[in-house]
Amino acid sequence: MAVQVDTKVEAIRAQLPAVQSTVYLNTGTNGPLPRSVHQAMSELALEEFETGRINMAGWMKKAELKPKARALLASAFRVQPSEIALTQLTTEGMNVLIHGIDWQRGDEAIITNLEHPGGQLPLYVVARRAGVQLRLADLGIGDGDVAGKIERLITRRTRAVVLSHLAWNTGALLPLKEIVDVCRRHGVLVLVDAAQSAGSVDLDLHDLDPDGYAMPGQKWLCGPEGTGSLYIREDRLGWFQQTYVNYGSVLYGSTDDVGGFFTPNAGAARFDRIATYFPLIAGQIAAMEWLVNDVGLPWAYDRISRLGKLCHDTLTNIDGVTVITPRDRMAGLVSFNVAGITPDALVTALSDRGITTRTIPHPACVRVSTGFYNTEEEIERLGAAIEEIMRDHANAGS
Amino acid sequence: MAVQVDTKVEAIRAQLPAVQSTVYLNTGTNGPLPRSVHQAMSELALEEFETGRINMAGWMKKAELKPKARALLASAFRVQPSEIALTQLTTEGMNVLIHGIDWQRGDEAIITNLEHPGGQLPLYVVARRAGVQLRLADLGIGDGDVAGKIERLITRRTRAVVLSHLAWNTGALLPLKEIVDVCRRHGVLVLVDAAQSAGSVDLDLHDLDPDGYAMPGQKWLCGPEGTGSLYIREDRLGWFQQTYVNYGSVLYGSTDDVGGFFTPNAGAARFDRIATYFPLIAGQIAAMEWLVNDVGLPWAYDRISRLGKLCHDTLTNIDGVTVITPRDRMAGLVSFNVAGITPDALVTALSDRGITTRTIPHPACVRVSTGFYNTEEEIERLGAAIEEIMRDHANAGS
């Protein structure tokens, strides 16, 4: 059995050149690109170069790409294709959601202390432009009674909560279903930054039932940079207005140019990206097909989680290492610090040893991402490298 | 001399495989991609695939791309790099400009009858969401006293005029400087859709002095789909608010997460695209370098204009062809109709003869784009093909 798993992991790694040149522990920034993704993108790019971007045959072919990507994403997250918008990154989804609300001066929004700029900044913009009052929910590292902490900040003026499903900094997987239940009772929208959960956590979006769920394509889903998706349940599409639009955002032929009337496109496609370099969509499709057909999403989720726990345990067992991530609420992100060594110095020292991780600014720490293509041996190497760095550091200081 | 020009045109065409498989008369939709653009994109895509997208060396290299693209674009349009935002397409620039205004209920905006959905739709969205009243300036085909027609619609509540520099449908090059003069006198912003002028018309943006000028990368500038730029004069940056934002939109370290305070990034970069597939920027750079160093922008502008006029004359001289484009106000777009043949039928018949053009919905017509890489012989072929189609049509009908 162990041999079978190793064989499978080896076969997967053979499709990912990027994981062969380094111990690749930063999928949380960008995942490695599978061979089939690079190939699909290269083929379409070559075709556009050689035959041009103005011929009917090319357009007919490219017209099939977005529906196909939408269907694959919808299936992976157990929703309808009409509930998936194709975006360019998580941050775009958050912008669509946050700017999609017709805020009134004096409205309130809750944001947590664990958010990424992708969720923070669009909210800060509407705070300034629309006079929205922000309430900061201090969730600590994301453990404890998260839903309760949020609920205590809800007032009659609260319109939305902006939060991550899986915190990019502490690695905590927040109890989203419970949070949604609380917010729904108060009529508060839940707008989710899913940058770290999409592709690393088994998702049933109808069951979790957030009002908006903004996902990336280039991290755990191993797609191109410049791809992502956004889930909005079909019967809640009308709760969000369109902001940035192009000709594809509206129903064909629906505009009245005298008065500026128009009808939005059907389904979540009304919130689609307004710019498309088509090889990106070909790559997004290839990534989803590879994950579903060759890797297997359930297997990937399970392996990410098991390697994450292994990493957590490995680091916890090293004297002088403090792991921040709550072990009972995590997936594939592990954040930690080493006594006496700054995160910058540690990331550099690990990089010198062929191990790629990253620093996090708040809380200042080092973050490891365990991808389904990582190996148990790589986690061991990480632990050994940290011990070595600590020894070197102690010797240098003595 | 004629031989020299032909040699130059042949050398240019050798760099553009797409113009070799068809008579390429639709640069107004997408230009042909030069070899160096495809190569720059392919090289970076391969590097990202092989070495990953999380290593410091890669980031350092990619960090140089946007400043380089910005500098090239600024130089081409005779402005400062700090006045150029890197966008993904014209429509994104129009969205940035139009959503960037803090509209008040009852404000008015003027839009012309010649606009593309890229300018129309964001304005229709703010009309609906912010209660902005639209005034439609009927400019006919774009000839006559355009500035006067616009001025007559200006009231005390008028905040902005949305219009194209070069109309995508009739091919008319509007007298932008005159329009800007009129609007400035009334304190009205001029927001320009430059989809067809950027790269086809010699531009001195400080001299023309629009308040915002949204340009594409993939048409006359021969860059990748998913690239564009937006000019806003430095001392008017504050007239526009940020809407869609990401971490690059703000000054590093400037956010106060308790209250949602932040400081925009310096210069027009605050309005940069929020999603970047870096090979696109490498392609945008390669396209501008090719245009500036190998083609020569002044030569290209002159040739586009001369071929446009030649096309206008060739078509005008055919009995039964009605050219819509005003000959004294044009560049490289020529719109026309053939008596008794629908635009769809004509475009198809031309395509059957190896000539790529396109239809325009309003006014219903066929549009030809004359690129600097087209030849006089191709314009002759177009004329001959139309005459042949007309003969066939007459015979079929008799």
Same domain, A172 and A131: yes
The confidence score (pLDDT) of residue B1 equals: 43
Chain A nearest-CA distance from B391, in A, is 25
Same domain, B204 and B313: no
The confidence score (pLDDT) of residue A4 equals: 63
For testing the chain A interface, which of B33, B113, B124, B360 should be mutated: the one with the most A CBs within 10 Å?
Answer: B124
Is residue B300 classed as helix, strand or coil in its secondary structure?
helix
Q: Is the pLDDT of residue A134 over 80?
A: yes
Chain B residues within 8 A of A127 when measuring between CB atoms: 259-260
Give the integer Cα–Cα distance in Å for A194 and A206. Answer: 15
Chain A residues within 8 A of B37 when measuring between CB atoms: 49
Contact B45 A55 (CB under 8 A): no
- Tell me, yes or no, whether B166 lies in a domain: yes
- Tell me, yes or no, whether B30 lies in a domain: no
Q: How many residue pairs from chains A and B have C-beta atoms closer than 8 A?
A: 235
Angle at A23 between CA A17 and CA A24, to 5 degrees: 65
* Out of A46, A124, A276, closest to residue B260 by CB: A124
Strands A228-231 and A212-216, sheet pairing: antiparallel
Give the integer Cα–Cα distance in Å for A328 and A330. Answer: 6
Strands A108-112 and A133-137, sheet pairing: parallel
Same domain, B311 and B251: no
Q: What is the mean pLDDT of residues A340-363?
A: 97
- Tell me, yes or no, whether A365 lies in a domain: yes
The residues in B 370-389 lying below 8 A from A, measured between CB atoms, are none
Same domain, B186 and B244: yes
Chain B residues within 8 A of A258 when measuring between CB atoms: 136
Q: Which residues contact A106 (CB under 8 A, 6 or more apart)?
A: A131, A132, A133, A157
Same domain, A261 and A153: yes
Q: Is B238 near chain A, with CB under 8 Å?
A: no
Is residue B83 classed as helix, strand or coil in its secondary structure?
helix
Number of domains in chain A: 2
Report which residue type is found at A208: L
DSSP result, A56-123? HHHHHHHHTHHHHHHHHHHHHTTS-GGGEEEESSHHHHHHHHHHTS---TT-EEEEETT--HHHHHHH
Q: Is the pLDDT of residue A290 over 50?
A: yes
CATH of the domain at A308: 3.90.1150.10
Same domain, B234 and B310: no
Region of B323 (left: φ > 0; alpha: ψ -120 to 50; beta: rest) is: beta
Same domain, B289 and B300: no
Contact A250 B17 (CB under 8 A): no
Residue A196: phi and psi, rounded to 5, are -105, -10
- Tell me, yes or no, whether B33 lies in a domain: no
Largest CA distance in chain A: 79
For testing the chain B interface, which of A21, A277, A348 should be mutated: the one with the most B CBs within 10 Å?
Answer: A277
Both tokens of A327, joined, read 């072990």
* Out of B18, B48, B99, closest to residue A244 by CB: B99
- Tell me, yes or no, whether A22 lies in a domain: no
Measured between CA atoms, the residue of chain B closest to residue A101 is: B129
For testing the chain B interface, which of A24, A65, A104, A125 should be mutated: the one with the most B CBs within 10 Å?
Answer: A125
The pLDDT tens digits for B103-135 are 999 999 999 999 999 999 999 999 999 999 999
CATH of the domain at B284: 3.40.640.10
- Tell me, yes or no, whether B149 lies in a domain: yes
| Residue B197 CA to its chain's centroid (Å) | 6
Chain B residues within 8 A of A222 when measuring between CB atoms: none
Confidence class of residue A153 from pLDDT cuts 50, 70 and 90? very high
Measured between CA atoms, the residue of chain B closest to residue A253 is: B361
Q: What is the mean pLDDT of chain A?
A: 96
Q: Is A255 near chain B, with CB under 8 Å?
A: yes
The pLDDT tens digits for A38-97 are 999 999 999 999 999 999 999 999 999 999 999 999 999 999 999 999 999 999 999 999
Residue ranges of chain B with per-residue pLDDT less than 50? 1
Cα–Cα distances in angstroms (integers) from residue A305 to residues A197, A225, A374, B52, B95, in the given order: 11, 24, 12, 23, 41
Contact A260 B124 (CB under 8 A): yes
Which of B293, B309, B340 marks a domain boundary? B293
Chain A nearest-CA distance from B329, in A, is 24
Measured between CA atoms, the residue of chain A closest to residue B46 is: A38
Both tokens of A215, joined, read 């996902």
Same domain, A273 and A288: yes
The confidence score (pLDDT) of residue B132 equals: 97
Find where tokens 């991402």 sit: A369
Same domain, A279 and A265: yes
- Tell me, yes or no, whether A375 lies in a domain: yes
Which of A261, A293, A325 marks a domain boundary? A293
- Tell me, yes or no, whether A368 lies in a domain: yes
Contact A250 B117 (CB under 8 A): yes
The confidence score (pLDDT) of residue A5 equals: 63
- ipTM (interface pTM): 0.97
The pLDDT tens digits for A173-225 are 999 999 999 999 999 999 999 999 999 999 999 999 999 999 999 999 999 99
For testing the chain B interface, which of A110, A246, A252, A290 should be mutated: the one with the most B CBs within 10 Å?
Answer: A246
Contact A53 B218 (CB under 8 A): yes
Contact A241 B99 (CB under 8 A): no
Same domain, A230 and A260: yes
Contact B260 A123 (CB under 8 A): yes
Q: What is the mean pLDDT of residues A100-121?
A: 97
Which of B241, B263, B293 marks a domain boundary? B293
Q: Is B117 near chain A, with CB under 8 Å?
A: yes
Same domain, B53 and B153: yes
Cα–Cα distances in angstroms (integers) from residue A138 to residues A125, A135, A142, A363, in the given order: 21, 9, 9, 13
Both tokens of A48, joined, read 């556009």
Chain B residues within 8 A of A115 when measuring between CB atoms: 257
For testing the chain A interface, which of B22, B47, B54 should be mutated: the one with the most A CBs within 10 Å?
Answer: B54
Give the integer Cα–Cα distance in Å for A208 and A79. Answer: 11
Residue B54: phi and psi, rounded to 5, are -130, 15
Chain A nearest-CA distance from B398, in A, is 31
The residues in B 81-110 lying below 8 A from A, measured between CB atoms, are 88-89, 91-92, 95, 99, 102
Range of the domain at B220: 38-293
Strands annotated E in B113-157: 133-137
DSSP 8-state assignment for residue A332: S
Both tokens of A331, joined, read 């997936």
Residue A2: phi and psi, rounded to 5, are -60, -35
The pLDDT tens digits for A315-336 are 999 999 999 999 999 999 999 9
The residues in B 324-363 lying below 8 A from A, measured between CB atoms, are 351, 356, 358
Chain B nearest-CA distance from A214, in A, is 14
The confidence score (pLDDT) of residue A3 equals: 52
Q: Is A313 near chain B, with CB under 8 Å?
A: no
Is residue A318 classed as helix, strand or coil in its secondary structure?
coil
Find the DSSP H helices in A100-186: 117-130, 146-151, 176-185
Same domain, A254 and A390: no
